[in-house]
Structures are given as C-alpha cells and as structure tokens.
Amino acid sequence: MRLKLLSPGEMSDDQRQTYDESIAGKRGKPPAPMMAWLNSPEMARHATRLGEVLRFNTVFPAMLSEIAILVTARHWTAHYEWYAHKRLALQGGMKVEIIDAIRDRRTPEFDDPKAKMIYDVAKSLHEGHGLAKGLYDEAIKLLGERGLVEVIGLCGYYTLVSMTLNTFEFGLPEGEVSELS
C-alpha cells in the first residue's frame, strides 16, 4: 500500500462526513477506493454516491452489472477489484465459466442476450474506445438508452476504482492470491 489510510479519528470533518455517509449507505461500509479518495473529500463524496447508484440502482440486476465490472477489472488487471467482484458475481448467480472466460480474456458463452450485449459494450468501450454504429444500434434496441448510459457509467466508474486501487497498490486480504496476471 503506497498510501496511509486514515482511521476515522484522523479524519478532518469533511473526510469524516463522507466516511460516515458511506457507512450509512447500502454498502454498510466504505468502499476500499474511497479511503484513498478521502484525500479529496468532495471528490470522495461524489464518487462514492455515484458508486452506490451504479451498484444498487440501475435497470440491471446485480449479475448483469457485474459483467461490466468484471470486464473493467480484467481490462485494468485490477487485482483487488477482480477479487471483490468475482465474489459478488458468484453470489448473484453468474456461472463460473463466464467469470473464468473474462479472466482468461476469452469471450464467454451467454444464454441471456442482455448479458452478451453488456459484455460486448464493455469490451468495445475499453478496447475500441467507443461503439461502432451496429453495436450502438443493437445496444439501444436491447438495453434502451438508460441501460446503455448505465453500462457506460459502470465501465467509467469502475475504471476510476481500478486506477485508484492499482495506483495505490491496494492489497488483497490476508491469504488471498490474485487470479489475474
């Protein structure tokens, strides 16, 4: 870890307010990158609120959101993010074969057309830096405008998360080994 994470007693009033708000939210605890973001309390406040919206209040069930998150974690080789969201994806009912394929940078087999579309959009955003017209048209038809905006939001927010975790070298919990290389 390259950064000393503050304990609640070491935080300024602004930092503590953001920390307390995150505990009171749906997560029940502060998201790991927020502890780094607290060095910019206003950014931490807004980023944490955005993260809560994207985790809990999109048009997608958690399992579909986790596809975009895992694609993003894999794109950035974000070890902590992969560790945390693989568990959430499994809890949400995602097949281990899909997770393994994303980890191994192979295209998974999807039964659900929305799941495949979210995967295709996330991959295209990260690798192609946008969507070709055909993919865009298909995404609008299948996910709707709100759905597409929320997939973009998931990829963007979790890019911020991944960059933060990678830059400050957040480690995995004791005894855990990264699956990503």
pLDDT in tens, 101-115: 999 999 999 999 999
Instruction: Give the amino acid at 166.
Output: N
pLDDT tens-digit map of 123-157: 999 999 999 999 999 999 999 999 999 999 999 99
Structure tokens that stand for 73 in this block: 């974690």
Q: Which of 113, 110, 155 lies closest to 138, judged by CA?
A: 113
* pLDDT level of residue 88 (50, 70, 90 thresholds): very high
Task: Check residue 16 and give its pLDDT.
Answer: 94
Cα 83 to chain center, whole Å? 11
More confident position, 137 or 25: 137
Residue in the structure block whose two tokens are 């799941």: 115
Task: Check residue 163 and give its pLDDT.
Answer: 97
pLDDT at 94 over 90: yes
Q: Which of 113, 118, 139 lies closest to 72, judged by CA?
A: 118
Q: What is the CATH number of domain 62-167?
A: 1.20.1290.10
Task: Check residue 1 and give its pLDDT.
Answer: 82
pLDDT at 26 over 90: no
Task: Check residue 23 and give its pLDDT.
Answer: 87
Q: Mean pLDDT throughout 17-38? A: 88
Q: Are 48 and 30 in contact (CB under 8 A)?
A: yes
Entry pTM: 0.94
Q: Are 81 and 31 in contact (CB under 8 A)?
A: no
* pLDDT level of residue 52 (50, 70, 90 thresholds): very high
pLDDT at 57 over 90: yes
* pLDDT level of residue 63 (50, 70, 90 thresholds): very high
Give the largest CA-CA distance in the chain. 53
Task: Check residue 28 and give its pLDDT.
Answer: 82
